[in-house]
Structure 1
């Protein structure tokens, strides 16, 4: 008995340890993306030259690289180009979400556009070289762009712009520091009419009181319109939609007015801290699902020899493209429904709120063989994951024989009455002629 109890205690203890270990693994799995030591991060290198016509041409070269987080002096973890991101007040990992498998990382060179100035932080040099690291969530949760500052050796001074890039070999280790990050958690937005979405834009810089300029612009049909701007140097702002007080904490999100058709376009959030300029494009599209209805109920009973106009209405949808089809199939379904070809369509009707409507109709002249079939209107639209279907069952009945006899009897009586009065009229006419 004592041995059995000891074994049970050991089993429960072992089970508890395993459970705790699994829980710890689960917690670490959830938070591991914030503590990740490295990420595969393709380096899109550039080879820039001036062609014979005097124009600048750029060839992009995709090279294997990794993003490694650590300290100055760390050895590379992989035999590839390694961007070693050392500690600073900006840590891009704190903004990451999801699993490592859902992250797509890409590093590029960054040109300051000929601006030569020292980044206002200890250790920065006039000849610093810049790179951008962009991490995208493959399911569209966020896009993060980080500016990486690299101080080359003294022999590399002067190699600082796109015509004189710093040479990067296949197994080089480039020690960098994250200077600024710009991110959005709304990489694309799809909403309905009269909504007030919040377009997220956030930034962080590795030093206090940066000389920052924040702007929002709307690009629509090839034209850009400024919606908002703010300069921390002057303290002045133009436009609306952004809480100016929140900018000091790095929040530059934009609140839209109730959406309408003219709200569609690409919204651009940009943050400039000289000599760095970061921006994110946020496309916004409008979408409204159609409301579908039929002009008959779920069952239509019709007498042989009569006809019925069937109308399927799709109303209040946006954008314009919609597809309406009528088909029929035996009750209970069929793998090969018969699509009707005698369907007519109205024109698209535009409503005041910017949505559209469309009707699809046909004239039903059924035979007795059509009875028992199910007729369905199917509406497809980009706002729908699956088409909307509205159906009715058809019942065709023969004319009532009793009513037919009644109609014949009434017709005969009516003819007799007409004949009687006609004969009476003729008799009076003949009597009148005899008098004269």
Structure 2
């Protein structure tokens, strides 16, 4: 990505970005270009971006940009460097988020620029040019974006390397949130002064500037910025950090719900403990298994309920008053949320019975039992009466 900078009539600086074809070639000073495009020949140094690569080369995107030192004119402290060196950044991004690596490339032009700020007089680069460079510093992260749940204690990775020993480095971590910049940690190897916490100072000496977070809360969300300043270079990576909790979904009815025709029932689908707020919850039914085209139902929803741990819950209410024709229907509650690759579905089958026929069966059964009892006791009653008459007759005969 090239750029053209100029000052407009109002005195404001305007930048035009231009896409150009360029390649990175590793080798030694004096090698010829292997490609007709602009070639950045990266010669050997103490820093090699290839040491930090992972995965297939086909999944790596490369972008080269010019880098301005912001008016700082100083010699990089290695042999062969000049005060008028020009700088480029080479950023490698893994398409599946494994890493982002930025390397600062130093190039010594044939003639130094004079007077103006570097970005107002960029060195001209023509198509097919070969620029011999040396990797001076690399800064990388293996956590280009982070998504975790509440109460977790993640570590945000930040690592750097320089082509000379004992650099005058300043390491900082900041949190960008709602337009504010909150300093979390800073360390200067020049003064030895440390502010904040979360980074092991001793590890910085080995190039590890990773930040260990406290248990995650809602205010932990934002963009974390790891920066490493070694004048005249200032490398940084932005790490978007978000919180995500998957909903737990449940119904207040069993997998098969039996109801009598005309009976009413409120079925509740609960989606609980999700974050962030955006969630979609809906009911639909499938009338026949052989024709499972779903029909979405009009339901009522509760408002979002805020839980003590910062998550949310919501309910969707389905009111049933089925007839016999609804028997065999399958009702499904479907919950979608950004934390889910696919919606969570909870279903039940409805079985509807006829109320009147059930009561008729009970009535007939009761009548039969009553008749059996009557038929059982009437003969005994008549037999008892006959015995009594015979007894009375015998008594009168005496």
User: What residue number does 2:216 align with?
Assistant: 259
Q: Does 1:77 align with 2:77?
A: no
Once residues 199 and 56 of structure 1 are traced to their aligned partners in structure 2, the CA distance between those partners, rounded to angstroms, is: 35
Post-superposition offset of 1:333: 6.1
CA distance in structure 1 between the partners assigned to 2:230 and 2:351 by the alignment? 74
**Larger deviation: 326-335 or 176-185?**
326-335
Structure 1: gaps of 5 or more residues: 1-43, 410-436
The answer to whether the 8 A contact 1:160-1:166 is kept is: no
Q: Distance in 2 between matches of 1:311 and 1:381?
A: 19
Q: Is the 8 A contact 1:69 1:86 kept in 2?
A: yes
- Partners of 1:86 and 1:294 in 2: how far apart? 65
**SS of the counterpart of 2:19?**
strand
Alignment match, 1:364: 320
Distance in 2, matches of 1:168 and 1:318, equals 50
Q: Structure 1: how far apart are the matches of 2:342 and 2:19? A: 39
Residue 236 (structure 1) shift: 1.3
In 2: Cα distance, 1:186 partner to 1:130 partner: 26
Q: Is the 8 A contact 2:150 2:217 kept in 1?
A: yes
* Gap change, CA 1:333 and 1:287, over 3 Å in 2: farther
Match of 1:249 among 184, 200, 206: 206
Is the 2:70–2:117 Cα contact (8 Å) retained in structure 1? Answer: no
Alignment-derived partner of residue 398 in structure 1: 354
Structure 1 partner of 2:392? none
Question: Which residue of the partner structure matches residue 394 of structure 2?
Answer: none
C-alpha separation between the residues in 2 aligned to 1:394 and 1:189? 43
Q: CA deviation at 1:269?
A: 0.2
* Alpha-carbon distance in 2 for matches of 1:160, 1:121: 23
SS of equivalent residue, structure 2 residue 164? coil
- Which residue of structure 1 aligns with residue 58 of structure 2? 101
Q: CA RMSD in A?
A: 1.7
| CA distance in 1: counterparts of 2:141 and 2:175, whole angstroms | 16
Q: Report the Cα offset of residue 334 of structure 1.
A: 3.6
1:137 aligns with 2:94: yes
Q: 1:60 Cα deviation (Å)? A: 0.8
Q: Tell me, which stretches of 5 or more residues in structure 2 are unaligned?
A: 368-398
Residue aligning to 2:301: 345
> Shift in Å at residue 158 of structure 1?
6.0
Correspondent of 1:89 among 25, 42, 46: 46
TM-score w.r.t. the length of structure 1 is 0.81
Q: Distance in 2 between matches of 1:334 and 1:139?
A: 39
**1:32-76 superposed Cα distances (whole Å, 9 cap, x missing partner):** xxxxxxxxxxxx111111000000001111111111100000001
1:154 offset after TM fit, Å? Answer: 3.1
Match 2:239 to one of 276, 282, 286: 282
Residue of structure 2 equivalent to 1:161? 118
**Superposed structure 1 runs of 4+ greater than 2 Å apart:** 154-160, 330-335, 401-406
Indicate how the Cα distance of structure 1 residues 303 and 335 shifts in structure 2: closer, same or farther if over 3 A, else same.
closer
Take 1:218 and 1:165, find their aligned partners in 2: how far apart are those partners?
33
Q: Secondary structure at the match of 2:219?
A: helix
Structure 1 residue corresponding to 2:136, chosen from 179, 184, 195: 179
Report Cα offsets for 1:76-123 as digits up to 9, x if no partner: 111111111000000001101111111110111111000001001111
What is the number of residues matched between the two proteins? 365
Report the TM-score when normalising by structure 2: 0.89
Change (3 A) 1:254 1:122: same
> 1:232 corresponds to which residue?
189
The alpha-carbon distance between structure 1 residues 77 and 159, as it changes in their structure 2 partners (threshold 3 A), is farther
**SS in structure 2 at match of 1:101:** helix
1:380 to 296, 321, 336: 336
